[in-house]
Homo-oligomer: A and B are copies of this chain.
Amino acid sequence: MPNKKDQQEPVCAVYCVHDQIVKEAKEQMLIPVQAIRLAETFKILGDPNRVQLINILAGREICVCDIAVILGMSTSAVSHQLRLLRNLKLVKYRKEGKMVYYTLDDHHIVNLFEEGLEHIKHT
Chain A residues proximal to chain B, CB less than 8 Å: 1, 14, 16-18, 21-22, 24-26, 28-30, 32, 34-48, 50-52, 55-56, 59-60, 62-63, 65-66, 68-70, 89, 98-99, 106, 108-109, 111-112, 115-123
Contacts and interface: CB of A to CB of B under 8 A. Distances in A.
B119 A16 contact: no
Nearest to A45: B42
Contact of A46 (B44, B52, B109, B123): B44
How many monomers of this chain does the complex have?
2
Contact of A48 (B36, B44, B65, B69): B36
Contacts of A39: 45-48, 50-51
A50 B32 CA distance: 12
